[in-house]
Structure 1
Amino acid sequence: MQQQTPPHAIYFANDDLAAGGLMHCLAEGVSTPEQVALAGFNGLSFLSALPKLITTTVTPRFDIGTAAAKWLMQPDEETAIRKVVLEATLRIGDTT
């Protein structure tokens, strides 16, 4: 935020980092989303406990683990080439 041209938005690699970014903005008086938009990744449940709901990409982590476990338990030619599509969704919060 100290740069000559501050960012309009920050998309963090995960929700934990986004939460830290939000806490920093709150401590420094940086207004979200007016001064900078924030977004995270994973859709973790702890986000609901924060002072502002962070926008996040909700990933199907349970389904990813289930599909991976099934593949590991029965690795054959059919499952090795099978394509599994698991969709992520965007949950809009107060930070965008």
Structure 2
Amino acid sequence: MRLVKTPRRRSTRPLAGVALYGVVAAAVLASYLNSLHGEFVHDDIPAVARNKDVLASASVAEVFLDDFWGTPMSDPTSHKSYRPLTTITFR
């Protein structure tokens, strides 16, 4: 008895996964695209527009000593919200 190899069919499943990721990425881009030209609102103004750490009027070393709002962590009025990497990305 002779065994005959039949050619394998390619699965279309990987292409469906790529298409799904493409649809999700397009939906995300479409929903946030209109926000790129917007103004700062609410807490964006003190956190970004007026923050000395973001405006680069302070050294990078000071970013690691201040809270998210640009207030020194040792200050009693500090919120103690420590996010130096986030602050550096706004520079």
Q: Fold-level match, TM-score > 0.5?
A: no
Q: Which has the larger radius of gyration?
A: 2
More strand by percentage? 1
User: Under TM normalisation by the shorter chain, which class is it?
Assistant: under 0.3
More helix by percentage? 2
Q: TM-score, normalised by structure 2?
A: 0.22
